């Protein structure tokens, strides 16, 4: 019998220079799940992604003072990005399921266990995402469609924020991909897929993993009855984000789409970056110029 190994859920949280956020996220988890943690049903694996500040000390101090059970902290020796940090944490997890949870989230209730129960009873489902909410209670975009050439064009030309064109379903639904801020996956599927693609530093790693899970025949579901507040503090500044998004999109296309589509995307990104560099010069917005010169450079 498997009785020594009944850990159901390993929650992986990444910290990068935001120890206070991580601590309040932990606090919200232990507030709702103290029994589960004590009974070895759940564990938290906190990975500090080489913050090089006082993060590790602060986190240790609080974890030991509050006597959080089943909470481990790992200090990564490098900041190799979101994907790699998550993979490091996942390897330490003993749970049947892994939940990747952003440290700028707050758990409101016990609904993440309902998500787990949903996957547990639906064998074809490999990944489930939940509904993210803004601090004011309004819904955040929590799902997406794969970035086909038509969709990428609409996004880039409409200049909308990435992902802003997808509606969150209001019932449990099959979707293309779910946001990495609240991302539940069967541990065996995560292992089969070798985790998040470490060539992606950040952005689109959630979409890319969902894409590969689907190639193996697993379904990706959205579970709307799980609400988690996501403050989107984002550990990255906007200019850095834009350049990373460019890199991730190009990588995703090179890996999963045809050569023609990849060249089409390259042209589209170059054009957009070029226009914005020009606009920045005309409008005297140095931020635009430096950001999109960098973006142009990665294309």
pLDDT, position 238: 82
What band does 162 get if pLDDT is binned at 50, 70 and 90? low
| 82-86, 146-150, 250-254: least confident range | 146-150
188-227 pLDDT, tens per residue?
Answer: 999 999 999 999 988 899 999 999 999 999 999 999 999 8
pLDDT at 158 over 70: no
pLDDT at 163 over 50: no
23-56 pLDDT, tens per residue?
Answer: 999 999 999 999 999 999 999 999 999 999 999 9
pLDDT, position 234: 55
Q: Cβ(269)–Cβ(228) under 8 Å?
A: no
pLDDT, position 156: 78
Q: Cβ(47)–Cβ(19) under 8 Å?
A: no
pTM over 0.85: yes
pLDDT at 6 over 90: no
pLDDT, position 29: 98
Integer CA distances (angstroms), 283 to 156, 203, 239, 295, 296, in order: 20, 29, 18, 19, 19
Integer CA distances (angstroms), 169 to 149, 215, 274, 293, in order: 23, 23, 36, 37
| Summary mean pLDDT of the chain | 92
What band does 3 get if pLDDT is binned at 50, 70 and 90? very low
241-286 pLDDT, tens per residue?
Answer: 899 999 999 999 999 999 999 999 999 999 999 999 999 999 999 9
């Amino acid at each position: 019998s498997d009785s020594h190994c009944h850990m159901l859920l390993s929650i992986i949280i990444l910290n990068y220079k935001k120890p206070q956020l991580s601590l309040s996220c932990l606090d919200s988890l232990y507030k709702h799940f103290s029994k589960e943690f004590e009974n070895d049903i759940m564990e938290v694996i906190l990975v500090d992604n080489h913050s090089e500040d006082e993060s590790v000390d602060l986190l240790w101090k609080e974890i030991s003072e509050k006597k959080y059970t089943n909470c481990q902290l790992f200090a990564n020796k490098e900041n190799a990005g979101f994907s790699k940090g998550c993979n490091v944490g996942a390897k330490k997890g003993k749970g049947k399921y892994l939940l990747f949870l952003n440290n700028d989230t707050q758990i409101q209730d016990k609904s993440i266990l309902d998500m787990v129960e949903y996957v547990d009873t639906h064998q074809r489902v490999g990944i489930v995402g939940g509904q993210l909410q803004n601090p004011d209670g309004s819904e955040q975009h929590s799902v997406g469609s794969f970035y086909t050439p038509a969709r990428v064009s609409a996004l880039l030309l409409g200049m909308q924020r990435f992902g802003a064109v997808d509606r969150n379903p209001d019932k449990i639904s099959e979707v293309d991909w779910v946001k990495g801020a609240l991302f539940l996956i069967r541990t065996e599927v995560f292992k089969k897929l070798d985790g998040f693609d470490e060539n992606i530093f950040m952005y689109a790693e959630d979409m890319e993993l969902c894409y590969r899970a689907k190639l193996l025949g697993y379904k990706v579901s959205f579970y709307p009855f799980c609400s988690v507040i996501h403050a989107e503090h984002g550990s990255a500044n906007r200019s850095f984000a834009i350049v990373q998004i460019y890199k991730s999109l190009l990588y995703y296309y090179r890996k999963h789409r045809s050569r023609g589509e990849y060249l089409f995307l390259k042209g589209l990104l170059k054009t957009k970056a070029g226009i914005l560099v020009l606009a920045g010069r005309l409008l005297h917005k140095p931020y635009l110029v430096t950001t999109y010169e960098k973006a142009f450079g990665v294309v």
